[in-house]
Amino acid sequence: MKIKGYCDNLSSCGEIISEHEHVTAILNGLSPEYESVTMIITASQVPYNVQGP
């Protein structure tokens, strides 16, 4: 929710945050225990978005 808030604030200032940047920020914020999930998401041929696959 923090990242969404940051993206919303940046958007209100005219700074466009792409879906890819949003997902990347979320994945980068995960702890090392989620590394396998992060690897699956980033290696997938299906583009992920904030809502899901």
In a domain, residue 8? The reply is yes
Measure the CA–CA gap between 4 and 8, rounded to whole angstroms: 6
In a domain, residue 18? The reply is yes
pLDDT band at 13, cuts 50/70/90?
Answer: very high
Which pLDDT score, from 0 to 100, does residue 52 have?
A: 60
pLDDT band at 33, cuts 50/70/90?
Answer: very high
Q: Which helix (H) or strand (E) holds 38?
A: helix 35-43
Q: What percent of the chain has pLDDT over 90?
A: 17
In a domain, residue 16? The reply is yes
- On whether the pTM is more than 0.85, the answer is no
Domain count, the chain: 1
Which pLDDT score, from 0 to 100, does residue 53 have?
A: 56
Which pLDDT score, from 0 to 100, does residue 24 have?
A: 86
* Domain span holding position 32: 2-43
